[in-house]
Structure 1
């Protein structure tokens, strides 16, 4: 049964996986609450809600017995061609990963129901109160790096994490804690232009370029002007410099492939972009989260950055 399940997971295109008992994550509570108490979540008020559900899977799925943690590669084959163009985070090149990954998780749930045993369950992809990195770390899929990302010793960190929580027991993988391989390396801390990595494995979201360009609903933090390094949506800097991402290999997931025109956009194309082109390029993209007006705001901000820098 376990072999069948693992074969299905591989067939669905997942990079790695682990099957664990759905247990209480009590060890994560003090760390998570300390981060919240320092207001490092910024405007992400949802992080301060449902803390009990983040720690206890049985509050998300009645009678939860098993959690399957899955990784999906999003490292692209190619990146933007114009080095002077505003930079888009690699994860946003293709269809919104919430849709791509949730479809795969639903198919996996259906497989378990059809081929293993009747059960109930729910898929989770970064949009519900699940401490995904904590589960992946507990499962032995990687360690939490100094930039707070999960890093796999086999695959680096360019992957999404999703979970399937179900109400039946399955044969469990033996969790093997992966030791921390960061050592004395501080490349991610040194490279972060806004100094958002305020301590080892602690990120102040309020200073993070990804948070500013995606989560902030009003104007961006004026104190961070001149520090975005041309990032218009999201930021990969701390991952780009991580030596473990030398292991990253391009994905072959059709849903995550970029729009044919996206990577060829020149600097001028971004700056003169109108809503019809935005809708065409990003109609199914995570970039819809900030919207056309949000993208324009971000473009103005980074253009002000460069204007101020050149004065």
Structure 2
């Protein structure tokens, strides 16, 4: 029977579905695979269901030699933790789980937008500290989100879902930067550069994929172009942002605030960032809803099932 390693703890229903199809070894643990575990996964299993934080880089494939494994089924849409070219050169197919994550991730973007613009995190900390002295007319004044302009860096599935919520839910104007013009069901203005977009909007949201091509797209120049009243939101990948430049912009109050769900050296978050009242920080909650994680797991298992049945995988990368 086909041997599969499930490398991280997943919802019970996903594990049960995989076990009905394969001989499954279940590593029921939250921490990423070690280097030895990654090498062993390639040598001892026919397929691996792995996820963010399991860094299958070129050296892992080189050290593994001729692998037994033939497929890496990534649990998640982002796959910049896998060297796809090295995997393919070693004879492995790589898949992911797009679609399942779109709405949940867009919801977290809107959560961060509201929390940052309306200073919700700061307000909750004030109340919990016991220092709140009651309502008054100029208490913790923030940015009214309705009717403002949102800028989307990366107008793929998730970027469009965020823009749709902003336009229809908050009456916001939409501008974006993308590699190609998008046919959208709502009005939106395409901009020429990240700097031009940053200068034109009240809230800048990045929804770019991670990887070498997008690393530090949001840099000191982009942040300098933002309005002093502007807010920056990242629900993409941490390395899309020059985190040191963002910290400096927040410390100097050159932008009003930021809402982050991902970090450049995740799970390490700099103390300087954690100390900032004008930063809302979430622990990578983008898809953290049971039904979403179950759907992601079903998609990963479906990729495995199709591959070993000799069918085209539904979600190759």
- With normalisation by structure 2, the TM-score equals 0.25
Structure with more of its chain in helix, by fraction: 1
Higher-RCO chain (CA-CA 8 Å, sequence separation at least 6): 1
- With normalisation by structure 1, the TM-score equals 0.25
